[in-house]
Amino acid sequence: MKSKKIYLQITPFFPTPTRFYGPYIYDQVKAIERNSDFEVIVIKTVSFFDKYHPKEYYEYNGVKVYVFKVLDLPFSLFPGLFKYLNEKRFLKFLKKKVQIDTKNIEVVHSHTIYPAAALAVLLKKEFKVFSVAQHHGLDVYQLENGRLKLSPLANLNKLYKLRYFSTIANNVDVNIGVSNKVLEELNKNRFLKNKTAYTLYNGVDKNKFFKKYLQEKKRKNHFIIGCIGNFWPLKDHMTLLKSIKLLKESGEKDIHLKLIGSGPTLTVCREFIEKENLSHIVSIEKEVHHDKLNDFYNSLDLFVLPSYYEAFGCVYTEALQCGVPIIAVKGQGIEEVLKEDDKKTSLIDKGDYKKLSELIRWNKSNKKMVKYNFDIDNYISEYLKFLNDLLAKGNLDE
């Protein structure tokens, strides 16, 4: 019996039985399995000093995950300094731990330039496999990683990253962005020469996220607004809270905001809620497991996340897939997939809490229903067609 061709995923993002981080990569893996004949194997890259991954192998909902620890200096200082040592370790890891017959690897799909795409370039060089680098954030070259922003080494470290990481992006066969905006950021680097690119939006598993029409009869008197996002400055929860304050002061009633997340700006948000007497209309809830989010979305009348540095934003598409209208910030990745009519009532300028309050009031008065189809199987099927066309052409190097 002929062995299946292997589709190897190398990623720093993947859930574990105890830490639910990177569900969109898991959904992508399952969609590739459903829509192709590939055997998908996942290698998760972690820091050599990571205490959360003592084991080199685990399974997550039927997916084989092998854990490779990358040796680097801390604080993202000159990543790749131990390049040759890590490459030697990784090839040994593939042979001894993963036990892959390298002749069966057809595609290596990496997530983020470093370290994943660096390892993809290694496999391309060693075994002539097709290599893909997928970029998920707007900081494509990872210049903001680490804690050296005020150090004398900061500028030198950034230049080093730009040169080294652009070499990696130049040597993969295809660069993928989760939005056109991500690819625009990738192309801003003057060192980038590789122009083979593809936009692969993060699709939604329709078995997990869907409109529950039966809940329409259970609607509360309140207009429920939801927000899911880590409490970081870039997510800009304060703009949302200021808009709620404005609505309260203008006499708007029956509004309730549910915030889900954790992070460094949570304390400031809590203080604002207390100071402005918003506790009776704003609640901060514990993080919800991905499998339980469908119920949360279906309890909402509106989803709002005023993040102003957003490559795409899975939470937006999940809400829309459930028929819940959204409000986001102009110029972010999600704008690319919104219908033109919805953009008028779904987008604000960065930090414009007054406009946000107006759009919330409009959505409350109109209770507009939205209908979108972000089926991940459709996105992956189109991507696989693109991939197969390139594979059929053979050597892409020019």
Q: What is the tally of structural domains in the chain?
A: 2
Give the rounded percent of residues in the chain with a pLDDT score beyond 90: 81
Q: Quick check: 128 and 107 in contact, CB under 8 A?
A: no
Q: Is residue 233 part of a domain?
A: yes
Structure tokens of 68? 């490779």
Q: Is residue 163 part of a domain?
A: yes
Q: Is residue 253 part of a domain?
A: yes
Tens digits of residue pLDDT in 70-111: 999 988 889 999 999 999 999 999 999 999 999 999 999 999
CA dihedral of residues 70, 191, 199, 103 (deg, nearest 10): -50
Q: What pLDDT score was predicted for residue 341? A: 93
Residue 246 pLDDT more than 70? yes
**Residues 48, 92: Cα–Cα separation, whole Å:** 16
The owner of tokens 């304060």 is 238
Tens digits of residue pLDDT in 30-62: 999 999 999 999 999 999 988 887 788 999 998
Query: What's 68-94 look like in SS3?
Result: EEECCCHHHCCCCCCHHHHHHHHHHHH
Q: Is residue 14 part of a domain?
A: yes
Q: What pLDDT score was predicted for residue 217? A: 43
Q: Kindly state whether residues 67 and 177 are assigned to the same domain.
A: yes
Helical spans, DSSP H, in the chain = 23-34, 83-93, 118-127, 154-171, 180-187, 237-249, 266-275, 293-298, 314-321, 340-346, 353-366, 376-393
What domain range includes position 118? 6-203+376-393
Q: Is residue 194 part of a domain?
A: yes
Q: Is residue 307 part of a domain?
A: yes
Q: Which of 75, 161, 59, 61 is nearest to 117 (CA)?
A: 161
Residue 376 makes CB contacts below 8 A (sequence gap 6+) with: 27, 28, 31, 202, 203, 204, 205, 206
Q: Kindly state whether residues 231 and 331 are assigned to the same domain.
A: yes
Tens digits of residue pLDDT in 206-245: 999 999 875 454 556 789 999 999 999 999 999 999 999 9
Instruction: Provide mean pLDDT across the span 122-141.
Output: 97
pTM of the model: 0.93
* CATH code: domain of residue 155: 3.40.50.2000
Residue 398 pLDDT more than 50? no
Q: What pLDDT score was predicted for residue 397? A: 46
Quickly state the pLDDT bin for 150 (edges 50, 70, 90): low
Q: Is residue 371 part of a domain?
A: no
Q: What pLDDT score was predicted for residue 90? A: 97
Q: Kindly state whether residues 182 and 285 are assigned to the same domain.
A: no
Tens digits of residue pLDDT in 312-360: 999 999 999 999 999 999 999 999 999 999 999 999 999 999 999 999 9
Q: What is the mean pLDDT of the chain?
A: 92
- Residue with the bigger pLDDT between 145 and 249: it is 249
Instruction: Provide mean pLDDT across the span 246-255.
Output: 94
Structure tokens of 312? 């795409």
Instruction: Provide mean pLDDT across the span 375-397.
Output: 88
Q: Kindly state whether residues 39 and 181 are assigned to the same domain.
A: yes
Residue 261 makes CB contacts below 8 A (sequence gap 6+) with: 227, 228, 229, 230, 231, 235, 287
Taking residue 5's Cβ as centre, other Cβ atoms within 10 Å add up to 15
Q: Kindly state whether residues 220 and 347 are assigned to the same domain.
A: yes
